[in-house]
Chains A and B, each alone.
Chain A
Amino acid sequence: MHEETRGPDGRFSRLEAMLDSVVGDTTELRAYIGSVQAEVEELRQTVAGLEARLDLVVASWTAFRTDLDTEEAESHRTLADRYVNFVEQSLYGVARKAVKEKHGDIPPDRTARMVAGLCSELFGRADVSERRVRRILGVRADHELAQTVQRLVTQARGIVAESVRMKTRGFWEFDHIPGAPLDESRQQAWARCDESDPVEFVVAPAYVAGGTTYSRQRVRTSAS
């Protein structure tokens, strides 16, 4: 009768060997997973780096896009609003008073010409003069409107100074062709003028900055 050998050096040594093999495989697997994880992490960082560089490229492209507005455009808008109100209320108001005093009533043509003269002086010249403004209004230095003139000149200077301070400087555009039809893209009829009549003269210039018209020209039109 043949007896199988049992005990630590027999069956258990076979089990031990199998266990050692499994441990070895597990260790190898762990090391492999570790190296794969390290590679994945490296890839992640590379991708993140590439993404960051791409973001920079896109950001640069966005900064150079010419079809986008900036916060400064909003600043030009508010300045244009201030300018328009200055012309349509302040300048028109004082012209109206001056014309009424001189003529007894308020002929639209005369007031329009007076406002045009004021705008030309205040926004068409670098050397604005209170004296010339008073002359346009037909008032002397001791007239009750003289103080108003002083205030208006100061306000106009403030508006111009603010446009100069902008990164993209704004300017006032007087160009027009007398007798041509009103160009709605850059002109609008002054007060009660008929927009279907041809342009006679510019009452208030347009305010333009960076190729954008923030306030159109106010033009007097006339059929004659």
Chain B
Amino acid sequence: MKKQKVAVAIDFGTHGTGYAWALIDDDKRQVHPYMRWKDQPAPTAKNLTALLLDSEGDVLAWGYEARRRFNSRSAGPDVRYLKAFKMSLAPASTEGMEVGELTATSLSADEAKNLVTLYLKQIFRLAVEEVAASGFTEEEIRWCLTVPAIWGDYEKQLMREAAVAAGLPDDPKRLLLAYEPEVAAHHARVSGARTAQFTGKRPSLMSVGSRFLVADCGGGTVDITAYRAVSGNKLEEIGRECGGKFGSEYVNQAFLEKVLVPRFGSYDAIDRINDQQPAALLGIIEKWEEAKLHFSAEHDDEIIISIPVSIDRCLDEESRKSLAELQDGVTDEIVITAKEAQELFEEVVPGILSLVDKQLGEMRSQRRNAPGKELVVLVGGFGNSPYLRQRLQQHLEGRADLLVPPDPQAAVLFGAVHYACSPQIRARRARMTYGIASTTRFRPGVDPEEYRYEGPDYPLCRNRFSVYVRGGESIPVGNWVTRGQWPIWPDQDAMSLVVYAAREGYPQYVTDKGSQKIGSLRVDLSSVMHLPLSRRKVQVSLQFGETEIQVTAVLQESGEKVEAVLDFEPLS
């Protein structure tokens, strides 16, 4: 394998996706974001996560170009415009209130995976071309793809499969999956994040032992994770990851439903406008998006958005009447009062604060309620919002300091580049309790009778949960947890190893509530059938600590490593 000399990171987001790269051995570590997307309104490090497909499902355009062509109808009929499909890779919501689904996200995980592949292919092509212009080959690139921390193993596996199908290498050493808040934490440390109060005091993110929480607030999801800085400039994950669908896209959704619909009179009016002038309607929502990221609760300023003449022509009497009634006679602009704007933010802010509280509680209990303030680092595009920052700051008063890096929107992207250059994470906390379904000696009066069956020598109990790692346990990256497994029957020529995950820390049986099969592998024992049962031991190892779990099985007697395929299955 060629030595990797270039690190390319892809921040794949619900709303926008971008890539950046750097030379791995460059002392100055100059990061190069790509900012020249076709049809972008202004230079930006993120292209729209959007695709325009023809009737065959082939890509006609992507990103801003896809949106332009769709809105201008220049691509013709029978085309599909899709966006926000990242959310459909993980359709099950995690925690928090039910905010409702974003539009255009009712896709199956497989459909979403296909769209992710189509999109990543475009990014891959661009990135390889740009890096090649410096004289590097594709084989010299180490890739890093970001994923939300709240994603389960199944979603991460889907993402990896989509990336490989798009052309990225099928090698865990060359294609890293990194958690978004994790890389953002690293960027915050190196970029000089300061306290939101700007006291001038340097935060202690760099100090060994410093503990901080990262709130990654993006377009779709909000991920909350906690870390501790350990020696060697590395991070150890602490606390338990949590998150939910409280991203800024939901504030946009609320804007559509609670501002535009009442002002234009009805959903039908919106549909009519969207049908006749989709680009102009989108322009209004974008203006809202821009204005909301600068809205502050400190002032009573209204947010004013011009209604384009093209939309004005679509308005009927009812729409004009609604506008005039709700806006003191103003019909050529959308005027949103400060109070209304606050109410839109409050659709998601309480959920975000609740998640932060939960994580802070976990961090506090770990340090046994010793006095002291925690640090909260705010990153992600939504982290740019002064309103969100102010609410968070007020909420954390006396309990934690709030830190914001100079460019929270780019924190994940730039952080991912640095991570790809030198992966920083030393240890992680296990997301759940993991183990293997096994059989043990039956315990009368303890094990359920229905699990009992007669073994060759004594009664046995099936469905026992053989724990490899407990939820919350800190596991060094790359560490293998190994247990021995033996076949039951002398004529058993294969062993089926079924891997389970449980939300509880001490599951007894794989049938316990909250326990679910997440994958399986089959071990062929034919090469050791000539040996007595006691010598047909299989060393089953689960490697934790990386973004995914790897499983291997080794026949101890022969040292033969059995090829095994572990398929993750979605958690219900």
Contact = CB atoms under 8 A, between A and B. Distances in A.
A80 B44 CA distance: 11
B294 A68 contact: no
B31 A78 contact: no
B134 A88 contact: no
A81 B293 contact: yes
A192 B308 contact: yes
A89 to B, nearest CB: 6
- Main SS of chain B's interface residues? loop
- Residue among B42, B135, B302, B414 with the highest chain A CB neighbour number at 10 A: B42
A interface, size bucket: 35 or more
Contacts of B409: 78
Nearest to A81: B290
B43 A214 contact: yes
B407 A78 contact: yes
A73 B30 CA distance: 12
Interface string A63-90: 1010111110111111011101110111
Interface stretch (A9-17, A38-46, A54-62, A121-129): A54-62
Contacts of A88: 287, 290-291
A63 B29 CA distance: 10
A22 interface: no
B116 to A, nearest CB: 24
B95 interface: no
Contact of A192 (B31, B307, B410): B307
Contacts of A92: 304
B32 interface: yes
Contacts, number: 100
B567 to A, nearest CB: 39
A158 interface: no
Nearest to B409: A78
A191 interface: yes
A81 B35 CA distance: 15
A215 interface: yes
B511 to A, nearest CB: 51
A194 interface: yes
Interface in B265-319: 287, 290-291, 293-294, 301-304, 306-309, 312
Contacts of A220: none
Contact of A58 (B135, B290, B293): B135
B154 interface: no
Interface string B388-420: 000000000000000000110110001000000
Given A67-B133, A69-B36, A89 B304 contact: yes
A88 B308 CA distance: 15
Contact of B31 (A61, A70, A85, A213): A70
Contact of A212 (B30, B43, B134): B43
B134 A89 contact: no
A76 B45 CA distance: 11
Contacts of B291: 85, 88-89
Nearest to B32: A68
A106 B332 CA distance: 10
A216 interface: yes
Contacts of B130: 68
A93 interface: yes
A153 to B, nearest CB: 15
Given A78-B407, A81-B290, A216-B42, A70 B30 contact: yes
A212 B330 CA distance: 37
Nearest to A151: B299
A134 interface: no
Contacts of B135: 58, 61
- Residue among A77, A92, A93 with the highest chain B CB neighbour number at 10 A: A77
Nearest to B135: A58
- Residue among A55, A71, A82, A84 with the highest chain B CB neighbour number at 10 A: A71
B5 A55 contact: yes
B78 interface: no
B23 interface: yes
Given A74-B410, A92-B304, A192-B307, A58 B134 contact: yes
B42 A215 contact: yes
A65 B21 CA distance: 14
- Residue among A58, A69, A74, A192 with the highest chain B CB neighbour number at 10 A: A74
B33 interface: yes
B81 interface: no
B56 interface: no
Interface string A99-124: 00000001010000000000000000
B357 interface: no
A93 B304 contact: yes
B480 interface: no
B410 to A, nearest CB: 5
Contact of B26 (A59, A67, A70): A59
B33 A75 contact: no
Contacts of A90: 301
Given A58-B134, A74-B407, A214-B42, A96 B304 contact: yes
A93 B308 contact: no
22 contacts: A55-B23, A61-B134, A62-B30, A63-B30, A68-B130, A69-B34, A69-B35, A71-B31, A71-B33, A71-B414, A73-B35, A73-B43, A74-B407, A75-B406, A77-B45, A78-B384, A78-B407, A84-B290, A85-B290, A92-B304, A213-B42, A214-B42
List the 7 closest pairs (A to B, CB-CB), nearest first: A85-B294, A191-B306, A69-B35, A62-B134, A68-B32, A58-B135, A74-B410
Given A62-B23, A63-B30, A69-B33, 13 more contacts: A61-B135, A67-B133, A68-B130, A73-B45, A74-B35, A77-B35, A77-B45, A85-B290, A93-B301, A106-B330, A192-B306, A192-B307, A214-B43
